[in-house]
Amino acid sequence: MSKIIVLGAGMVGSAMAIDMAKNHDVTLMDINADVLKKVQQKAETLSVQVLDVTNKSALQNSIKPFDLVICAVPGFLGFKTMEYILEAKKNVVDISFFPENSLLLDKLAKENDVTAIVDCGVAPGMGNILLGYHNERMKVTGFECLVGGLPKVKKWPFNYKAPFSPVDVIEEYIRPARYVENGQMVVREVLTDCELVEFEKVGTLEAFNSDGLRTLIDTMPHIPDMKEKTLRYPGHVEYIRALKDSGFFNDDPVEVGGTKVSPLEFTSKILFDEWKLGETEEEITVMRITIKGEQQEIVYTLYDEFCTRTQTSSMARTTGYTATATANMFLEGLFPEKGVFPPELVGRHEACFNYILNYLKDRNVVYNMETRPIKKA
Amino acid sequence: MSKIIVLGAGMVGSAMAIDMAKNHDVTLMDINADVLKKVQQKAETLSVQVLDVTNKSALQNSIKPFDLVICAVPGFLGFKTMEYILEAKKNVVDISFFPENSLLLDKLAKENDVTAIVDCGVAPGMGNILLGYHNERMKVTGFECLVGGLPKVKKWPFNYKAPFSPVDVIEEYIRPARYVENGQMVVREVLTDCELVEFEKVGTLEAFNSDGLRTLIDTMPHIPDMKEKTLRYPGHVEYIRALKDSGFFNDDPVEVGGTKVSPLEFTSKILFDEWKLGETEEEITVMRITIKGEQQEIVYTLYDEFCTRTQTSSMARTTGYTATATANMFLEGLFPEKGVFPPELVGRHEACFNYILNYLKDRNVVYNMETRPIKKA
């Protein structure tokens, strides 16, 4: 039993704290006392503590007694928070998905003799782990990740509820997508190249360009083709693009009734309300990872649902349990390297890979693998 | 030659002033001096004067020397402005399309021995005139008006430019539609009952419920079926409904960056920019009026384009020239009645009807009439 601190009591942070508390002494921290109180009602063995992670000394003092930090703060706070954690010489598993390059902190982590595993969710996260594993065992020529979190009940027009911060969803609809094609990094407009894709138990979904490759662009320079696309119910992208093309996502403030308002900020606000996922609203996670080799392609498919028994969202399950799997794997000493590591550098080790997949399987997050021979023209 | 004053130097007001100036001594008034200056460059014989129509005494003093007022102020100012004009004992032709019931001013007009002809545009306006005419000459059993002002160049997603105040366009997308069905007034949700309709020179357009019958509901109580629908390029309504259904047209303010903002006000602002019709941007007006009798139906079709020679928009031509036709008809003594009159009460007189249609034809605004026998089941 180790002493674990989880930073951030959002939907995923709470689920991780509850999961870790099964085998460890866990403290959950958040800036919001009400949120903490609510989580504690679900898991009595959990300790909670109010903390503002932007207060450097408070943060560094709070994490002192712990063996491992699991960080699930909002993305815009992620990089700075990780820097403070590494300065304090603490090991960390991170799913804040911050926009900055995590490898900039690699030197600090090595100097302080600690380990940071970043981007440890479902996507990014499991896609990287799967690719990391197979990349060591075959010549990979292509990688594709299709992924989406979707509500079970579809409300027109967007047919969408945000299983994580809507501000991050909208950010994903703005940032251009970085792909690798024929060995070159290319930038594609986000929300483009829509294609219809069939998924068992779900039906037809729409996949479009989004910027999800992240560290893979740097860590897998030998793979000539890599892309990530986001999945939504058909129609969603069309309405998002209608908003975007007519100025609703613009950043330049416009004057409304005497005050300056940012269209993007305003639109986000409206969509937050429209996309608010009810606490017990059922949602699913759908993912298909294709790893292409010279003779065969390996396809992993995930279909995961809201857990009615534990009232845990599928996004919390698939994202959070990947991070708790990684945390437990780390605590068991399976990954002794020091520095900052994206998940592909963890998944390449057979023991790590198996540990994580089995941990997830125990929680009924199941990746079905299929192998198909490549047809030569 | 009469002395005419035109209130409002918007797109339509200016076109009317220029048209009236061919045969009369015309003064154009507006609150905006720059706008007036620009119009005067196009028509040197025009006098201009800055005036705030909400300043009652200034308005009543200004209009004193004139034989007739043509009123083209924004809708929300229309009713009050007309009241001031009638109080000042002046005749008026109005195209401000104010939301209030114009007949409330009938008593005032009669007491002051003056004439007000209201809603004198293309729709409302010409539809009323045509129905007023035929209603005196056959038993009318049904009336339908399909009408739209559209840009020639279509920009996704809305494929629309507003040929009149966008705030009035959006107001039309909110106000429920009042129809007459089987002799009963019914209220229908606006933007519903979309149907595809074919138009020569344009192709397929989409017609949807809108609230355009206005005075006809009261003045034609014996006609069992009457409806008005707005025409747009296909797709427009779907995107408008997507906005509306997801809260962008709500009136209740939401908090954005510390200030309260009305979604409707904000959305209007964004759409104003998106729908801004360039001064020389070509647009068209499309209308189909169907007047059903027992043996036959009479169909009038209008297709009108931006006039490149005079740089006059089609909306200004079709709306403004109906009003200037009516003004000239009035000045020639063809309509001597006192009180407030919607156009259907003018159109019923053969001489008035012919005068207006010929006046429009001279300006190449042509209503093609077709008569079709009714097929009995």
C-alpha torsion A80→A86→A90→A95, nearest 10: 50
Question: B interface mutation test: which of A156, A248, A260, A270 has the most B CBs within 10 A?
Answer: A270
CB contact under 8 A, B261 and A259: yes
CB contact under 8 A, B255 and A269: yes
Chain A residues with CB inside 8 Å of B255's CB? 269
Distance, in Å, from the CA atom of A233 to the CA atom of A18, rounded to the nearest integer, reads 31
Tokens encoding A29: 């921290």
Q: Measure B162 CA to nearest chain A CA, in Å.
A: 14
Distance, in Å, from the CA atom of B354 to the CA atom of B362, rounded to the nearest integer, reads 12
Distance, in Å, from the CA atom of B221 to the CA atom of B184, rounded to the nearest integer, reads 9
Q: What predicted TM-score, i.e. pTM, was given to this entire model?
A: 0.89
Q: Is A221 left (phi over 0), alpha (psi -120 to 50) or beta?
A: alpha
pLDDT digits (tens, 9 = 90+) for A142-188: 999 999 999 999 999 999 999 777 778 888 999 999 999 999 999 99
CB contact under 8 A, A259 and B263: no
Chain A residues with CB inside 8 Å of B246's CB? 157-158, 270-271, 274
Between CA B182 and CA B190, with CA B185 as vertex, the angle to 5 degrees is 110
Please tell me the predicted confidence (pLDDT) of residue B72: 97
pLDDT digits (tens, 9 = 90+) for B201-240: 999 999 999 999 999 999 999 999 999 999 999 999 999 9
Q: Binning pLDDT at 50, 70 and 90, where does residue B47 land?
A: very high
pLDDT digits (tens, 9 = 90+) for A79-107: 999 999 999 999 999 999 998 999 999 99
- Nearest of A199, A216, A217, A197 to residue A208 by alpha carbon: A197
Which residues of chain A are at the B interface, by a Cβ-Cβ cutoff of 8 Å? 156-158, 239, 241-243, 245-248, 254-257, 259, 261-263, 265-266, 269-271, 273-274
Between CA A54 and CA A60, with CA A58 as vertex, the angle to 5 degrees is 90
CB contact under 8 A, B269 and A262: no
Q: Measure B350 CA to nearest chain A CA, in Å.
A: 48
Under 8 Å CB pairs connecting chains A and B tally to 72
pLDDT digits (tens, 9 = 90+) for A298-329: 999 999 999 999 999 999 999 999 999 999 99
Chain B residues with CB inside 8 Å of A262's CB? 256-257
Distance, in Å, from the CA atom of B89 to the CA atom of A134, rounded to the nearest integer, reads 90
Considering only the C-alpha atoms of chain A, give the largest distance between any 2 of them, rounded to a whole number of Å: 65
pLDDT digits (tens, 9 = 90+) for B278-300: 888 999 999 999 999 999 999 99
- Nearest of B145, B106, B68 to residue B324 by alpha carbon: B68
Supply the ipTM of this predicted assembly: 0.84
Q: Which residue of A has its CA nearest to B252?
A: A270
Chain A residues with CB inside 8 Å of B244's CB? none
The count of other CB atoms within 10 Å of the CB of residue B171 is 16
Q: Measure A166 CA to nearest chain B CA, in Å.
A: 15
For residue B377, pLDDT over 70 is answered with no
Distance, in Å, from the CA atom of A173 to the CA atom of A170, rounded to the nearest integer, reads 5
Chain A residues with CB inside 8 Å of B157's CB? 241-242, 245-246
Percentage of chain A lying above the pLDDT 70 cut:
99
Question: B interface mutation test: which of A256, A262, A275, A276 has the most B CBs within 10 A?
Answer: A256
Please tell me the predicted confidence (pLDDT) of residue B150: 97
For residue A377, pLDDT over 70 is answered with no
For residue B169, pLDDT over 80 is answered with yes
| 3 state SS of A43 | coil
CB contact under 8 A, B274 and A246: yes
For residue A130, pLDDT over 80 is answered with yes
Chain A residues with CB inside 8 Å of B247's CB? 270, 273-274
Q: Which residue of B has its CA nearest to A248?
A: B270
- Indicate the residue of B245, B257, B269 with minimum beta-carbon distance to A157: B245
- Nearest of A93, A112, A98 to residue A341 by alpha carbon: A93
Question: A interface mutation test: which of B243, B271, B276 has the most A CBs within 10 A?
Answer: B243
| 3 state SS of A83 | helix
Distance, in Å, from the CA atom of B110 to the CA atom of B104, rounded to the nearest integer, reads 11
Chain B residues with CB inside 8 Å of A162's CB? none
